[in-house]
Amino acid sequence: MNNALVIIGNQSLEKERIRALIAALMENGARMGALRWLDPGRVCDIPFSGLERERTLALAERFLAGVPADIAALAQEGRRKKLLIADMDSTVITVECIDELAAACGLRERIAPITEAAMRGELSFEDSLRERVRLLENLPETALADTWQKRIRLTPGARQLVQTMRANGAHTALVSGGFTYFTEKVAARAGFHSHRANRLEIAGGRLTGRVGEPILGREAKLAALNEFCSKLSIAPEEALAVGDGANDLAMIGAAGLGVAFHAKPAVAEAARVAIRHNDLTALLYLQGYARDEFAG
């Protein structure tokens, strides 16, 4: 069987409905392999061939309408990826760091809407970042540490994702349109091999309102994907890229497995796979890892 249908429920799946789906796929010409439970009762992996992946996915989504589950139809070949390249804000962590910094100086209501518009692709990421950082001028440097300690948390499943892929020989890279102050700490906490992001300028213990150039945005994320692939001597098809915002779309589109994670609507629509109901361990299930293979 050269394809796999992956169904990831955020609660137990109805086995009768799964059996009915398999029967419907067979009636439409699919040849089905033996169902495998990656997480008993909740996540199943069904090998198939003889039916286009798009058609298979459409049938699965119809049969599971209303069920809180993420569904993907993927090629079996090369399923376990050799590179993970991940966005940070609202992907590997639960918040947008710049919005949390803005809260420290009473500017969340001005800055957060700009962040949201940029993530939806309505504004230039680079220009909007310059504008948001400019509004943070004179913010004490101590606000960075305070924000890290009080507001930054890993997204559930982040450490298991990174550690499991590392344990299986993949390179893991955190590539963010945020700031190096935070990527350094998040990368260490989650276990990424490497990280890169933008640099906040600081002088006299306060933010200057400027960000180092060039800004790491959409095209820089794509360039990072290609750079890592070149260094690892792998093709982009062997990479997994995940993010939530418009500045992640280029790398998501170029990777063999591009995933929109709890993403803005335009990003979820454009990505080949969208995770809406589950945490980051869903990216391991997409690669065929079972729950008892998770590390971290």
DSSP, residue by residue, 270-287: HSSEEE-SS-TTHHHHHT
Q: Are 13 and 66 in contact (CB under 8 A)?
A: no
Instruction: State the catalytic residue, choosing from 39, 45, 70, 87.
Output: 87
d(CA 146, CA 104): 9
Q: Are 88 and 176 in contact (CB under 8 A)?
A: yes
Which runs of consecutive H residues, i.e. helices, occur in 196-281? 218-232, 249-254, 265-270
Q: Are 241 and 252 in contact (CB under 8 A)?
A: yes
Q: Are 48 and 3 in contact (CB under 8 A)?
A: yes
Q: Are 4 and 73 in contact (CB under 8 A)?
A: yes
| Active site annotation includes 89 | yes
Exposure class string for 186-196: b at 16+ Cβ within 10 A, else e: bbebbbbbebb
Instruction: State the catalytic residue, choosing from 89, 99, 244, 248.
Output: 89
Find, among 98, 136, 132, 133, the residue nearest to 114 by Cα.
Answer: 132
DSSP element (H, E) containing 167: helix 158-167
The amino acid present at 228, given as its one-letter code, is: F
d(CA 253, CA 223): 13
Could you tell me the two tokens for 187? Answer: 């990368």
d(CA 6, CA 278): 13
| Active site annotation includes 279 | no
Rg over CA atoms, the chain: 20
Active site residues: 87, 89
